[in-house]
Amino acid sequence: MTATGKTPLAVALKYEGAGAPKVVAVGRGDFGKRIIDTAREHGVPLEENAPLAEALASVEVESEIPRELYEAIATILAFILRATTTRAAVPLKP
């Protein structure tokens, strides 16, 4: 997730289907830009949401997201699942 503005902020989440998603990386400035660039290189979907990125940036790395952010994260995860399912369903042209 990114927050637009002068200094890039990126928060990387990991969700394995059990428990709550975990914050696995947080970076501002050059490190935030590296997280964003790496995600793009690997085809990881990005969501630009400055207030949510700021809230997640306060979560300790390797910790589950707090309950008060479940709904916002669930909305994003549902969007990603729909997008990746739709993309997988489209046949590739030879």
Task: Write down the pLDDT at residue 63.
Answer: 97
Task: Write down the pLDDT at residue 26.
Answer: 97
- Answer whether 47's CB lies under 8 Å from 76's CB: yes
Residue 32: inside a domain: yes
Residue 22: inside a domain: yes
**Model pLDDT for residues 2-44, shown as the tens digit of each residue:** 445 568 899 999 988 888 999 999 999 999 999 999 999 998 8
Overall domain count for the chain: 1
Which domain, by its residues, includes 44?
2-89
Residue 8: inside a domain: yes
Mean pLDDT computed over 51-63: 96
Q: What share of the chain is helix, strand, coil (3-state, %, to 5)?
A: 45, 20, 35
H or E stretch at 30: helix 29-41
CATH of the domain at 57: 3.40.1690.10
Residue 38: inside a domain: yes
**Model pLDDT for residues 39-56, shown as the tens digit of each residue:** 999 988 888 889 999 999
User: Could you tell me which of 31, 39, 30, 28 has the C-alpha nearest to residue 3?
Assistant: 28
Task: Write down the pLDDT at residue 76.
Answer: 86
Residue 94: inside a domain: no
Residue 49: inside a domain: yes
At 87, the pLDDT band (50, 70, 90 cuts) reads low
C-alpha–C-alpha distance, residues 73 and 67, integer Å: 10
